[in-house]
Amino acid sequence: MLRTSVVTLLAAALLLAGCIVPVIAEETLEPIAEMTVEPTATTVWFPATPTPSPFPTPIVSPTADMRPGIGELLLEDDFSDPLFWPTSTDADGSAQVSNGRLSLVLNETRSYLFSTRNSPTFRDFYAEITATTSFCRGEDEYGLLVRALDGDHFRFALSCDGRAKVDRFHNGSLSRQAGWVSSRTIPSIAPGTSRLGVWAGGGQMHFFVNDIYLFSVTDSLLFRGAVGAYVHTSSDRDVSVSFSDLKVWQVDR
C-alpha cells in the first residue's frame, strides 16, 4: 500500500485498521485531565492542542500480578506475512515486514509513523509485543497501539530514556491518561529490548513492561479495536525500532 493511499487530512477521519501513517507532524496534548491511578482504509488526525503541564515522574517497583482471567490464545503473529501489515517506503520513513519483524524507521523531524494490523479487533484481551530499539535517544518514543478503531486508539509509549506513558486519541483530541513513569525495567539506551503488555477488560486497562506492572487506566470511551505499533521523533534524530512476537489472549471476566 502506498503512503499516499493511507494518509488523509484531519477532515477524512476514516478507519485506522491496517493503515500505515507515514509522517505526521508532531502533536501536542490537550490540557491534562486528572489522572486516575486506579486508575484502522485509513488515517490520522492529530490537531494541535495546548501543551500540558509536566507530570511527576514516580519510580515504580514490581507488584502483584494484575492480569486475571487470561484464557484462549486468540492471535499469534510472527510477522512472516506482510498481508496484515501493509508496507511503505519513502524519504521520510518506512514500515517493512521481514525476517519476523515489523520495522518502523522514521527520518522526519518531530513526526509520527503508525502501522496498525488490519484484523482482527478485540474487546477484552491481553496483548504482548516485543520492541527492539536500534536508533533511539532521549524523548523519542515507540510503543503499542490498542483499541484502534475509526481513528481512535490508545498509545502505550516508552521513551528512549526509560519512561512510560499512556495517551488516548479520541474524536480528534489527544489526552494523557497515565505517566510519565520511570522504571528500571525500561531500557534507557539503544539498542534495547522490551516486552510491552496491555490487559484490557471493559473500562479497565493495566500496563506492563517486561512483566512488571506500571500503572492502570479507567476509560469509558474506547472498548474495542485493533492492535498496532508506532514510533515518534522528538527532534531531528532518526528513530528505528522493530516489533516482533505479537500475541493476544482472550480475557474472561
pLDDT at 70: 96
Task: Report CA 69 to chain centroid distance, whole Å.
Answer: 23
**Total count of residues recorded for the chain:** 253
Is residue 45 in some structural domain? yes
Partners of 102 in the beta sheet? 97, 243
Q: What's the CATH number where 177 sits?
A: 2.60.120.560
Is residue 8 in some structural domain? no
Q: Which residue has the cell 486516575?
A: 36
List the one residue out of 161, 133, 129, 164 whose CA is nearest residue 145: 129
Is residue 4 in some structural domain? no
Is residue 76 in some structural domain? yes
What amino acid is encoded at 184 in this protein? R
- Using an 8 Å Cβ cutoff, are 253 and 126 in contact? no
pLDDT at 87: 85
pLDDT at 119: 94
What amino acid is encoded at 188 in this protein? S
Is residue 201 in some structural domain? yes
List the one residue out of 30, 36, 67 whose CA is nearest residue 217: 36
pLDDT at 20: 54
- For residues 209 and 213, give the distance between their C-alpha atoms in angstroms, rounded to a whole number: 7
- Using an 8 Å Cβ cutoff, are 87 and 95 in contact? yes
Residue 165: half-sphere exposure toward Cβ, Cα within 13 Å: 22
pLDDT at 127: 98
- For residues 96 and 103, give the distance between their C-alpha atoms in angstroms, rounded to a whole number: 5
pLDDT at 237: 85
- For residues 52 and 150, give the distance between their C-alpha atoms in angstroms, rounded to a whole number: 25
Query: Which residues are within 8 A (CB) of 144 and not within 5 positions of it... i.e. 6 or more apart?
Result: 127, 129, 131, 155, 156, 196, 198, 227, 228, 229
pLDDT at 29: 58
CA angle, 129 then 238 then 93, to 5° = 75
- For residues 126 and 51, give the distance between their C-alpha atoms in angstroms, rounded to a whole number: 31
Q: What is the DSSP letter of 6?
A: H
- Using an 8 Å Cβ cutoff, are 72 and 50 in contact? no
pLDDT at 24: 57
- For residues 225 and 152, give the distance between their C-alpha atoms in angstroms, rounded to a whole number: 9
Query: What is the total count of domains within the chain?
Result: 1
- Using an 8 Å Cβ cutoff, are 40 and 148 in contact? yes
Is residue 6 in some structural domain? no
Is residue 2 in some structural domain? no
Averages of pLDDT over each 10 residues, the chain, 253 residues: 33 40 55 43 38 45 73 97 90 95 95 95 98 95 97 97 97 95 94 97 97 96 97 92 98 90
Task: Give the CA radius of gyration of the chain.
Answer: 16
Q: What is the residue range of 181's domain?
A: 16-30+40-251
